[in-house]
């Protein structure tokens, strides 16, 4: 009995060493990213920020290297280890990143952690009323967090510290990614970053030509393709009140919510890949249906066709792509209009993109399952009905497996959404209706960033903590978070 207990403790410690080693590697990458901000500080003459930058970078590097070398003999991560590592990473990385907002901008620890969590998860909700008043270093740090966070800090680590083998795939999958562009995971993540750089460069040029200044074009291109939504201007994109800039931003938001596999095929010359992809076709259909509904709901508010179409379409695309840029306030919208955009934020963009939400593929699966089930009711019990998902023809066993996995995520997602709504509605002021509370929580958990005005530095600390949890849960698609809680309560074994 004693031997069994000792063996179990050793196995738990072995799992813990693996998690801490991988966390150490990620913190090393974080330290290097923070050091890169020295270039921005030097260019804009913000030399007083060098000390906090170096301090934070050294703290991340020292902790990362000590973990990495203390547990250098740790085994390769299994999927459960990778999930725990992912959940911890998306807490520890924002925590260390928040030090820059505390030391450079003088923000409170909670507000700084909120800002960093919103940045890394690509949410875009902010505690900063006037982003234009920030130092250039802090502005770029907000954009860089969303740009790297869009693909994933673990994916960045894998692309730099080449890790062939099953451990790399476990880490890759734990950060809610499964698609392969190339045969191996390392070649896949490296190709993903090349595509990301190409799309970002395209966005910078496009925004500059549309009328943005170079600094604004750089930052907004990073947060648009990363579907993050942070801006360097006050009042988001409404600051410009420029139809041409809005027209330039819309395709960048859509590109950010498009799977990287589709980008790869299109860059290889297959321009039809977008319309052949199941998720992309679903995006077009869902956007069309919701846009007609939102236009009808908002027409009486704006009073003219072009104005209603302009503001409704931008906010809806921003919600469905989980970007979070705004060109108008939605506080005055009807409850119907808010619910329509809320639905778009819950659905989200494509799996394998930088967008959040429950993902288009799960919405497609739910729709096909309902249609498949209804068809079965009108056919004999022995009838064989297959279901097509993209190019795959699925039999009953495969259908049940895929639907079960999708249903689990959707149900848990809605459960945590409901919890967030209950908590936030109990702490916001009477000026906000239930529809606006639902909108705000859906925006946080969908990693969107659209806001009715509830999120600000003056909101209750309980509300801030709840939205932080929603952002964290939403980015990791819940399961890694539940795995972390389980490990904290019961340990790694048995799984």
Q: Pseudo-torsion of CA 393, 397, 398, 401, nearest 10°?
A: 150
- Looking at the predicted structure, is the pLDDT value of residue 284 above 80? yes
- Looking at the predicted structure, is the pLDDT value of residue 225 above 80? yes
321-338 per-position pLDDT tens digit: 999 999 999 988 999 999
Q: Cβ–Cβ contacts within 10 Å for residue 390, how many? A: 13
Q: Among the residues of 378-478, which ranges form H helices?
A: 396-425, 434-445, 461-476
**What mean pLDDT do residues 382-403 have?**
71
- Looking at the predicted structure, is the pLDDT value of residue 38 above 90? yes
**What mean pLDDT do residues 36-61 have?**
96
Look-up of token digits 């930052």: 219
pLDDT band, very low/low/confident/very high, at 385 (cuts 50, 70, 90): low
- Looking at the predicted structure, is the pLDDT value of residue 4 above 50? no
Mention every residue, 6+ apart, whose C-beta is less than 8 A from residue 216. Answer: 207, 232, 233
Which of 90-94, 402-406, 452-456 comes out lowest in average pLDDT?
402-406
* Closest CA relative to residue 349, chosen from 252, 460, 470, 491: 252
Share of the chain above pLDDT 90, in %: 70
**Whole-prediction pTM value?**
0.93
Find out whether 495 and 82 touch, Cβ atoms under 8 Å. no
- Looking at the predicted structure, is the pLDDT value of residue 2 above 60? no
Which pair of tokens denotes residue 409? 């995520």
Tell me phi and psi for residue 449, to 5 degrees. Answer: 115, -10
- Looking at the predicted structure, is the pLDDT value of residue 184 above 70? yes
- Looking at the predicted structure, is the pLDDT value of residue 342 above 80? yes
- Looking at the predicted structure, is the pLDDT value of residue 164 above 70? no
């Amino acid at each position: 009995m004693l031997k069994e207990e000792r063996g179990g403790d050793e196995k738990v410690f072995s799992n813990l060493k693996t998690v801490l080693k991988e966390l150490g590697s990620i913190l090393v990458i974080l330290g290097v990213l923070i050091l890169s901000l020295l270039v921005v500080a030097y260019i804009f003459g913000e030399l007083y920020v060098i000390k906090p930058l170096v301090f934070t970078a050294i703290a991340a590097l020292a902790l990362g290297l000590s973990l990495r070398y203390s547990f250098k003999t740790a085994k390769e991560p299994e999927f459960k280890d990778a999930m725990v590592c992912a959940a911890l990473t998306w807490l520890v990385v924002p925590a260390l990143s928040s030090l820059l907002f505390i030391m450079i901008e003088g923000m409170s620890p909670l507000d700084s952690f909120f800002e960093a969590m919103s940045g890394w998860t690509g949410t875009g909700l902010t505690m900063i009323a006037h982003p234009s008043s920030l130092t250039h270093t802090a502005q770029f740090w907000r954009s860089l967090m969303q740009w790297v966070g869009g693909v994933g800090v673990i994916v960045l680590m894998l692309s730099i510290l080449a890790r062939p083998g099953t451990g790399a795939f476990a880490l890759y999958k734990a950060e809610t990614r499964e698609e392969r562009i190339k045969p191996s995971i390392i070649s896949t993540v490296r190709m993903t970053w090349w595509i990301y750089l190409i799309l970002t460069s395209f966005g910078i040029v496009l925004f500059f030509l549309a009328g943005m200044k170079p600094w604004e074009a750089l930052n907004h291109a990073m947060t648009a393709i990363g579907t993050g939504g942070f801006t360097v201007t006050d009042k988001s994109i409404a600051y410009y009140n420029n139809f041409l800039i809005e027209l330039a931003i819309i395709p960048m938001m859509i590109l950010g919510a498009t799977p990287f596999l589709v980008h790869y095929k299109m860059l290889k010359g297959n321009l039809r890949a977008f319309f052949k992809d199941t998720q992309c076709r679903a995006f077009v259909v869902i956007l069309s249906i919701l846009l007609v509904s939102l236009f009808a709901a908002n027409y009486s508010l704006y009073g003219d066709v072009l104005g209603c179409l302009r503001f409704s379409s931008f906010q809806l695309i921003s919600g469905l792509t989980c970007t979070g840029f705004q060109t108008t306030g939605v506080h005055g919208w009807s409850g119907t209009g808010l619910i329509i955009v809320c639905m778009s934020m819950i659905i989200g963009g494509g799996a394998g993109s930088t967008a959040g939400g429950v993902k288009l593929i799960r919405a497609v699966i739910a729709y096909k399952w309902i249609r498949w089930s209804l068809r079965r009711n009108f056919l004999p019990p022995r009838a064989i009905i297959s279901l097509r998902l993209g190019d795959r023809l699925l039999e009953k066993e495969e259908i049940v497996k895929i639907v079960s996995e999708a249903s689990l995520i959707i149900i848990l997602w809605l459960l945590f959404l409901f919890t967030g709504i209950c908590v936030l509605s109990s702490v916001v002021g009477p000026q906000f209706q239930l529809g606006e509370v639902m909108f705000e929580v859906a925006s946080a958990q969908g990693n969107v960033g659209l806001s009715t005005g509830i999120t600000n530095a003056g909101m209750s600390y309980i509300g801030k903590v709840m939205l932080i949890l929603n952002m964290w849960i939403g980015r990791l698609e819940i399961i890694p978070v539940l795995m972390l809680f389980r490990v904290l309560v019961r340990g790694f074994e048995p799984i």
